[in-house]
Amino acid sequence: MPDKPEDGALYIGLMSGTSMDGIDAALVRFGNHTCDVLDVYEAEYPAKLRDELRTASRQPATCTVDRIGQLDRWIGECFRDAALTLLEKSTVDAAAITAIGSHGQTLRHQPRASRPFTMQIGDPNVIAQGTGITTVADFRRRDVAAGGEGAPLAPAFHQWLFAGGSTIRAVLNIGGIANVTMLSPTSDKVIGFDTGPGNTLLDGWMTANRKLPFDRDGDWARQGTVNELLLGLMLADPYFAQDPPKSTGFEYFNGGWVRARIASLGDVTIDVADVQATLAELTARTIATSILGHAPDIEEVLVCGGGIHNTDLMARLKSYLSGVRVTSTEDYGLHPDWVEAAAFAWLAKRCLEGKPGNLPEVTGAAGKQVLGAIFPSTG
């Protein structure tokens, strides 16, 4: 077991989200409720790996145990290489890093199955062995074992970094799935949950119809017109009315979910650009409804994640949050693209300190839990 870290120690956070397109690697230094991102690196997955991951996650019945084992090793090698490249880029020696916090790549997330589970692959043994740095990984499964959703985990970090002052504030991460953290200046209790689809349905529809990975700036959605009938069918999904704690993923919100609702329209013809506009409206409305439903007096929303770069989506969101200051986490010192990677570096720190990393009121777990398993360095 490594020594407990001190403030000012260096960490690396490694994150890959539901888009399954690559890895965010961040070199961070933590202080007294401060987080300084010193350097960053983005690594794209090879096209073959990306395709195999999406097939494995979306068609699990076709994925053999041998294939999962191979993918676990392959992802571990990619995470290892991302950490090594970041070190080379930053000219920081591996010996100076206290630990790596590796989220891994979620393959399946089923916290409400008859035997609940969540599966993140990317063998941390490969990362620790290849970098010579203590690696902390497998953060979600302890929360699930304690009866929780295993997600979202970022709200504990959001509270640690962004709480304070007199403002009623929310932190909104728009990744493949969107999640929100509500912070009150008068209470330590945090409300946090997955609001539903963030970018995942938009990206999936873009890929299926225009052979592009995402809708840059929301330009295609902006060309379409929201179909109110389709939007109504989507908003009627029971997930949106479900009380937290709750989490979701691409296992539920995916292309099949979209096509089923289009099919429910019967003989009504809908243009593919109108579907994209409707999906953007769905994301914006469900986020806004989630925030206002649980924090009607909200004053400020800090946005992070890839969705912040979608100007059409952000305009829709701001229209639903009229009178609320909607801005970037960068206003508080942390670039929106690196909040998630920094969060898993912080969770590694918490694990080494023997401190809990979850918020039971967010995940539904039976009490606070120390999250993560430690894989010691080779040195």
Name the pTM for this structure: 0.95
Question: Same CATH topology for 10-149+339-375 and 154-332?
Answer: yes
- pLDDT bracket for residue 378 (50, 70, 90): confident
CA–CA gap between residue 17 and residue 103 (Å, rounded): 9
79 close to 122: Cβ distance less than 8 angstroms: yes
Strands 10-16 and 97-110: parallel
pLDDT at 126 over 60: yes
- Fold for 154-332, please state it: Nucleotidyltransferase; domain 5 (3.30.420)
pLDDT tens string 321-358 = 999 999 999 999 999 999 999 999 999 999 999 999 99
Q: Selecting from 3.30.420.40, 3.40.50.150, 2.40.100.10, 3.90.1150.10, what CATH number does the domain 10-149+339-375 have?
A: 3.30.420.40
Break the chain into its structural domains and give their ranges: 10-149+339-375, 154-332
pLDDT in tens, 181-239: 999 999 999 999 999 999 999 999 999 999 999 999 999 999 999 999 999 999 999 99
pLDDT for residue 145 is more than 80: yes
pLDDT tens sequence across 272-329 = 999 999 999 999 999 999 999 999 999 999 999 999 999 999 999 999 999 999 999 9
Q: Is the pLDDT of residue 79 over 90?
A: yes
Please, what is the end-to-end C-alpha distance for the chain in angstroms?
12
